[in-house]
Structure 1
Amino acid sequence: MGSSSDDTGLARLAATVERLRGELREARRAADERALVELAKGILVERLRCGPAQAAEQIAAIAARTGRSEVELAADVVNRAADDSIADAARAAGP
């Protein structure tokens, strides 16, 4: 076995590892985005007293109307809900 063959095998292995790392990064990013949208849907279900399908429709419609992605809109919904919760807790704690 020559070193050229070994080098080729190692290069292919390194390329495969790098490709798999990229796929893993993409899968994690997609999972994080899905989780964020699901969290936003849950917030809308609670606040609007609607079902999950209606909450998903609201997110999709507002995102389309405003030219934003559903993930961006979901992040805003979650951030707004977090801000509201912090403000409520501060008010409840009093001066």
Structure 2
Amino acid sequence: MPEAKNPNDPKGLIRESYRIENIGEAECRSILMDWALSLPDEIAQLDALTALLAQYGVAEPDHPMTRLMQEGLAPMTRGGRRGGRAGRRQH
């Protein structure tokens, strides 16, 4: 019997990433990007990531997908140089 479709992982990408032996961070990053682009608009990414981490990450805390999903939940910090005139202006 096929597995039930998970609304937080409609294509099963995250589920399958945990089944691939010796998968690396680069492959997980690519899979996570595909997952994010294919997630339906009515599902909030942060909510979906939280649910998927609870489903898969607890059992496999050292998996590269777990680390990437945790990074996805971390608040973004503003950094780097400002572009345009403001970035070149001398004080």
Question: Same fold by TM-score, threshold 0.5 exceeded?
Answer: no
The structure that is helix-richer by fraction is 1
Q: Which has the higher contact order (CA 8 A, sep 6+)?
A: 2
TM-score by length of 2: 0.31
TM-score by length of 1: 0.30
